[in-house]
């Protein structure tokens, strides 16, 4: 599948040219403070979106009204492959977080994972301090299964010491999802 639609959104495979819309928020340190790479420079954004567009696991989410990219979603199968587990990750412009577009896009991705990719389980991982992302996983009725204390570090502080993040793991099983959509 190359393209999906929802009531308000077009969700399509990521393209290199998507960098220009996505750069608007990927370059903002505040909106990217919980993302592993932090804020992007223009060159970093162009390079990253180009690399991401080479894999069929990355989807750009666009408004139907003007086709502007407002975020992206990654849906990737994880090892072991026979577990049929997929990892859902999303990164959206903060201006579109509170209007339901993130939930709408992610619900469509769950439908795609369970109905078309034969997923048994979908997981999401986020920084515990990233309350907005954690709320979005909750809106999808994904349960918090675990919190891993000081599990990841992506940055150094001003003293060149690692900044450790607590990581939350969310999950939903196909059986649970089927009950939700009924």
* Domain 3-181 of CATH type 3.40.640.10: no
Residue ranges covered by each domain of the chain: 3-181
Beta carbons of 47 and 103 less than 8 angstroms apart? no
Residue-level pLDDT at 80: 87
DSSP string, 119-136: -SEEEEEEETT-HHHHHH
Residue-level pLDDT at 18: 96
Show the low-confidence residues of the chain (pLDDT under 50). none
Residue-level pLDDT at 35: 84
Residue-level pLDDT at 152: 85
Residue-level pLDDT at 98: 79
For residue range 99-143, what is the model confidence (pLDDT) as tens digits?
A: 899 999 999 999 999 999 999 999 999 999 999 999 999 999 999
3-class state of residue 148 by DSSP: strand
Residue-level pLDDT at 33: 85
* Among 68, 54, 88, residue whose Cα is nearest residue 22: 68
């Amino acid at each position: 599948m190359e393209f999906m639609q929802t009531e308000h959104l077009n969700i399509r495979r990521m393209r290199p040219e998507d960098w220009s819309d996505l750069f608007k928020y990927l370059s903002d340190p505040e909106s990217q403070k919980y993302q592993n790479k932090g804020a992007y420079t223009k060159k970093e954004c162009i390079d990253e979106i180009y690399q991401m567009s080479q894999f069929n696991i990355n989807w750009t989410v666009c408004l139907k009204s003007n086709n502007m990219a407002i975020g992206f979603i990654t849906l990737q199968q994880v090892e072991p492959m026979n577990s049929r587990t997929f990892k859902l990750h999303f990164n959206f412009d903060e201006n579109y977080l509170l209007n339901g577009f993130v939930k709408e896009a992610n619900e469509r991705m769950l439908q795609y994972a369970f109905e078309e990719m034969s997923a048994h389980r979908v997981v999401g991982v986020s920084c515990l301090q990233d309350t907005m992302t954690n709320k979005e996983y909750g809106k999808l009725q994904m349960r918090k299964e675990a919190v891993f204390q000081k599990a990841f570090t992506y940055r150094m502080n001003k003293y060149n010491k690692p900044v450790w993040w607590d990581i939350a793991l969310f999950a939903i099983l196909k059986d649970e999802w089927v009950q939700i959509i009924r």
